[in-house]
Structure 1
Amino acid sequence: MKTFVIGDIHGGLKALPQVLKKAKITIEDTLIFLGDYVDGWSESAQVIDFLIELNKKHECIFIKGNHDLWCEDWLRTGKGEVIWLAHGGEETQKSYESYSEEQKQKHLAFFQQMKPYYIDNKNRLFIHAGFTSMHGVEKETFKLNYHFDRTLWETALATDKNLSKKSELYPERFTHYSEIYIGHTPTIRYNSSNPINALNLWNIDTGAAFTGCLTIMDVDSKEFWQSNPIKTLYPNEKGRN
């Protein structure tokens, strides 16, 4: 039994079976998805279909990302926020054009069941973006930070990697968990097409929405596998701008 974490997919369905096959996933394995399943490439609705079926065969944990939050609001109200439409929402709407209201309601229920974060039995935290409370994720007062915060990631990058965890200068947010896994901020912004480790945090979003790949990682061994660059799987599309 292994535990795998999967980065942001952003409608790139063709990449998902690629990484599951490369990692040799079995029905005994646990799959933890870090969110942002939609918005970007043309198969957002189809990604959700795939995940719903995958959940019937595997132990899956689905974290909710900011793009999932926006899509959920649209499925519930029929109204899409301007910021969502400008950042992949239009492509997601198009992917739902052939879907019945019943199918959309099934997807809405799936979004509503997603977790804001997950802590496993080894005290590893899995969250889409981050949190700001120095007392830990459970004490966060502004819950949208789970989906949008980047200060956790920025703090990890800015902290001296040689700083002892016992030091008074060590940022307290990182002391509550053995490891933290996030998505949300593409590593390609930092000139890396691979996951990035800073302190005890791992960023698994390797830019699948843009020019990067989808990544899956074994959280125990830290071995990871990647899809082809998603732009090569959708050569006639632009992905997210």
Structure 2
Amino acid sequence: MSGRLIAIGDIHGYRAALQTLLNEIQPDADDIIVTLGDYIDRGPDSKGVIDLLIQWGRKTQLVALIGNHEEMMLNVIQGEQSHHGWLRYGGVETLESYDFDGDLNFLPAEHREFFDSLGDFFVHDNYFFTHAAYDPQLELEQQPIELLRWHSLRAGIPDPHFSGKTAVVGHTASDDGSILDIGHLICLDTNCYGGGVLTAMDFPSKRVWQAKPDGELVA
């Protein structure tokens, strides 16, 4: 018997909220948990979020996708871009959570392995998952990285993908903490870092679990 398929939106360093959702969901070895990226930055405990994802990855089938914030951090660590942009968008909080002492090699080996393992998309049954958006006419393997990791739905919501599969994304935070569901696309970034909630959704039932930034479960 196959397990559940559950996606979790942008976490942004809110370990308490993530812990609450995972405790409620209690995923097991048959379940697939898809995390949509942006685990770090802005919130108080980015390191703790990664610790928790690694821990639960030993108990369930964790599919962790990359977000634009992971891209920014990795580019800085690898010397591919200046730190200024990353710090402006939440990198300071991430560095603080790792007790940064000036050495850019601050990630524990297990965490670096986690970040290096992140994928850009995941396809399962009638759904595909990615961080931000997509080109409706292109195969997922041909998608521009800019669309997958950076495109804001405020700049335009893509048409249905030619495959007929439903897109599940994050990245574009809803102002009021609500889930955007327009049929062919569902956005689960419910603005946890901005005072909203962290959201998990089961597919295809669309059962929802939500937690506030402090970890309080939303009934």
Aligned to 1:21: 23
2:162 corresponds, among 157, 160, 175, to 175
Letter in 2 for 1:62: A
Is 2:91 the partner of 1:104?
no
Cα deviation digits, residues 92-112 of structure 1 (max 9, x gap): 011111699585333222111
Distance in 1 between residues matched to 2:120 and 2:29, nearest whole Å: 25
Partner SS for 2:20? helix
Q: Which moved more, 1:142-151 or 1:42-51?
A: 142-151
Letter in 2 for 1:10: H
Structure whose alpha-carbon radius of gyration is higher: 1
Alignment of 1:69-218 (within 5 A): 69-77=71-79, 81-97=83-99, 103-120=107-124, 122-132=125-135, 134-140=137-143, 142-151=144-153, 154-155=156-157, 171=159, 173-187=160-174, 189=175, 191=176, 193-218=177-202
Point out where structure 1 has 5 or more consecutive residues left out of the alignment: 157-170, 235-241
Q: Is the 8 A contact 1:70 1:80 kept in 2?
A: no
Q: CA deviation at 1:50?
A: 1.2
Distance in 2 between residues matched to 1:15 and 1:65, nearest whole Å: 19
Distance in 2 between residues matched to 1:59 and 1:131, nearest whole Å: 24
Distance in 1 between residues matched to 2:167 and 2:154, nearest whole Å: 10
RMSD: 2.5
Q: Is the 8 A contact 1:63 1:117 kept in 2?
A: yes
Distance in 1 between residues matched to 2:72 and 2:114, nearest whole Å: 14
Point out where structure 2 has 5 or more consecutive residues left out of the alignment: none
Q: CA deviation at 1:80?
A: 5.2
TM-score where L is the length of structure 2: 0.86
Letter in 2 for 1:129: A
Aligned to 1:10: 12
Is 2:207 the partner of 1:220?
no
Query: Do the aligned partners of residues 4 and 153 (structure 1) sit closer, same or farther apart at CA in structure 2, a change above 3 Å counting?
Result: farther
Q: Is the 8 A contact 2:171 2:189 kept in 1?
A: yes
Query: Do the aligned partners of residues 27 and 184 (structure 1) sit closer, same or farther apart at CA in structure 2, a change above 3 Å counting?
Result: same
Distance in 2 between residues matched to 1:9 and 1:102, nearest whole Å: 21
Letter in 2 for 1:104: P
Cα deviation digits, residues 19-69 of structure 1 (max 9, x gap): 122234333211000000000112101211111121111110000000011
Distance in 2 between residues matched to 1:152 and 1:180, nearest whole Å: 16
Partner SS for 2:128? strand
Partner SS for 2:192? coil
Task: Work out the percentage of aligned pairs sharing the same amino acid.
Answer: 26
How many residue pairs are counted as aligned between the two chains? Answer: 212
Q: Which moved more, 1:207-216 or 1:90-99?
A: 90-99
2:40 corresponds, among 38, 41, 47, to 38
